[in-house]
Amino acid sequence: MKTGRLALLLILGIFVLTALNLSLGSVSIPLKWVFAALTGNEDTPVVYANILMKSRLPQTITAALAGAGLSIAGLLMQTLFRNPLAGPSVLGISSGASLGVAAVVLLAGAGGLMGMSIYYASIIAAFVGAFVVLLLISYFSARLHDNAMLLIIGLMLGYITSSLVGVLNFYATSENVHSYTLWGLGSFSGVGWSQMPLFSGLIVVGLMISLGMPKWLNMLLLGDRYASNLGLRVPRARLAVIIVAGVLTAAVTAFCGPIAFLGIAVPQVSRFLVGRNEHTVLLPITLLTGMFIALLCNLIARLPGLEGALPINAVTSFMGAPIVIWVILDKRRQRITI
C-alpha cells in the first residue's frame, strides 16, 4: 500500500475513533450533540456538555497523545538496539517512574506529600524517578560504546527499582497497596484540562524532535561502525535517542501509569504496513498507528453497557501480546528459511 494512501486511511480512522470515543460510553451521546458541544452550541443539553468537555474530550486527547508518544519511543528503542522486542520500558525509565509513585502512594498515602494532593505528588514523584534513571542511563551511555551492555544495565536498573517497590509494598498498608495497584493498571482518564498543557507539551515536543531524526535512525540501524563511517557521531546520536524516548516514556507513565505493549507492538504493526525500515516513512506512520490503536483500546475499555471502564492495560495487553508472539514466531521462521 502506498504511504500516502496508508496515512490518509489512518487519519480517517483516527477521526472516526475520536467521534466514537466522544459518543459512546456508559452514557451514549448522539453525534449531533457531540458536534454541537464542540462548536459551543448553547442548545446542547448540560449533561451531555459536561460529560464531553470535562471527561471524554480530555481522555480522548490523552489516549491519542499517549499512544503516539509510546509508539515513537518504542520505535526509537527498537532501532537503537536493533531488537524488535525492545520497548519504552527497556531502560528502566518507566520502572523509575513507578518507584517514584510507589514512594508517595505507599508511604505518604492519601495525605499526599508536603501539603500536595496525592495526584500531583504522584506526578512529580514519577517524573523525579524517571529522570533519575534517565540521568543514570545517559551517564552509562557516555561511558559505554556497546548497546548490548547498555541494555543489560537498563534491565538491571529496572530490577533494582522493582525490588525497592517490593520493599515499599511489604511495609505499606493494604489501602495504600490497593491505590498503587490501581495506578499500575493504567488509565487515560487522569489528565484534566489543568494538566493538559504540561502533558501535551512534553509529548508534542518529543514527537517533533523524533520526526527530525530519520537520517540518524537509518544510520543507527546499519550498526555503529557503518553509522560512524557515514559521518554520524554515534555517541551523541545514541544519547539524543535515549533522552527523547525517555522523556516520552516518563511523561506518559507519570500521567497515565505504565501502559503495556503499545510501545512494543505498534512499531511492529507499522513495519508490517509500510513494508520497510525507512524511518522517513516509518516515523509518521508509527505515530498515526499509535494514535489509532490507543483510541481503539480506550474505546474498547469503555464499551457501552459497562458501568465502569476496564483497566487500559487489560485491553492493550490482550491486543499487544499476540503481536509480540507473532514477531517472535516470524523471526524464528525467517531463521529456519535462511
User: For position 76, what pLDDT does the model report?
Assistant: 93
Of 191-200, 287-296, 314-323, the one with minimum mean pLDDT is: 314-323
Q: Domains in the chain: how many in total?
A: 1
Average pLDDT of the chain is 86
User: For position 270, what pLDDT does the model report?
Assistant: 92
- pLDDT bin (cut points 50, 70, 90) of residue 158 is confident
Report the residue count for the chain: 338
Grid coordinates in use for 228?
A: 560512524
Grid coordinates in use for 211?
A: 520526526
Instruction: Say whether pLDDT at 35 is over 70.
Output: yes
- pLDDT bin (cut points 50, 70, 90) of residue 109 is low
Higher pLDDT, 8 or 170: 8
Grid coordinates in use for 186?
A: 493504567
Grid cell 508472539 in the structure block, residue: 325
Instruction: Say whether pLDDT at 115 is over 50.
Output: no
Paired strand residues for 193: none
Grid coordinates in use for 8?
A: 490518509
Instruction: Look at residues 98, 45, 75 and name the one whose alpha carbon lies nearest to residue 252.
Output: 98
> How much is the average pLDDT of 140-146?
79
Higher pLDDT, 117 or 247: 247
Grid coordinates in use for 293?
A: 490503536
> ∠169-171-175 over CA atoms, to 5°?
65
pLDDT tens per residue, range 41-92? 888 899 999 999 999 999 999 999 999 999 999 999 999 888 887 888 888 8
Classify the phi-psi angles of 44: left when phi > 0, otherwise alpha if psi is within -120 to 50, otherwise beta: beta
User: For position 290, what pLDDT does the model report?
Assistant: 96
User: For position 227, what pLDDT does the model report?
Assistant: 86
- pLDDT bin (cut points 50, 70, 90) of residue 335 is very low
Kindly state the percentage of the chain with pLDDT values over 70: 93
> How much is the average pLDDT of 107-132?
73
Distances (CA, A) of 200 to 42, 68, 69: 28, 11, 10
Contact assessment for residue 298 and residue 21, using Cβ atoms and an 8 Å cutoff: yes
Identify the DSSP state of 79.
Answer: H
> How much is the average pLDDT of 262-274?
91
> How much is the average pLDDT of 278-305?
91
Instruction: Say whether pLDDT at 280 is over 60.
Output: yes
> How much is the average pLDDT of 290-301?
94
Strand ranges (DSSP E) for the chain?
A: none
Whole-model pTM over 0.85: yes
Contact assessment for residue 282 and residue 7, using Cβ atoms and an 8 Å cutoff: no
The CA-to-CA distance between both ends of the chain, in Å, stands at 26
Instruction: Taking each helix axis as running N to C, give the angle between helix 57-81 and helix 147-171, from 0 to 180 degrees, rounded to the nearest 10.
Output: 140
Cβ neighbourhood burial of 324 (10 Å; 0-12, 13-18, 19+): middle
User: For position 319, what pLDDT does the model report?
Assistant: 85
Of 2-11, 50-59, 139-148, 325-334, the one with minimum mean pLDDT is: 325-334
User: For position 305, what pLDDT does the model report?
Assistant: 57
User: For position 338, what pLDDT does the model report?
Assistant: 32
Q: Give the structural domain span for 83.
A: 3-337
Q: What is the amino acid identity at position 238? A: R
CATH of the domain at 248: 1.10.3470.10
Instruction: Say whether pLDDT at 134 is over 80.
Output: yes
Higher pLDDT, 14 or 223: 14
User: In degrees to the nearest 10, what's the CA dihedral of 5, 6, 9, 13?
Assistant: -170
> How much is the average pLDDT of 269-285?
91
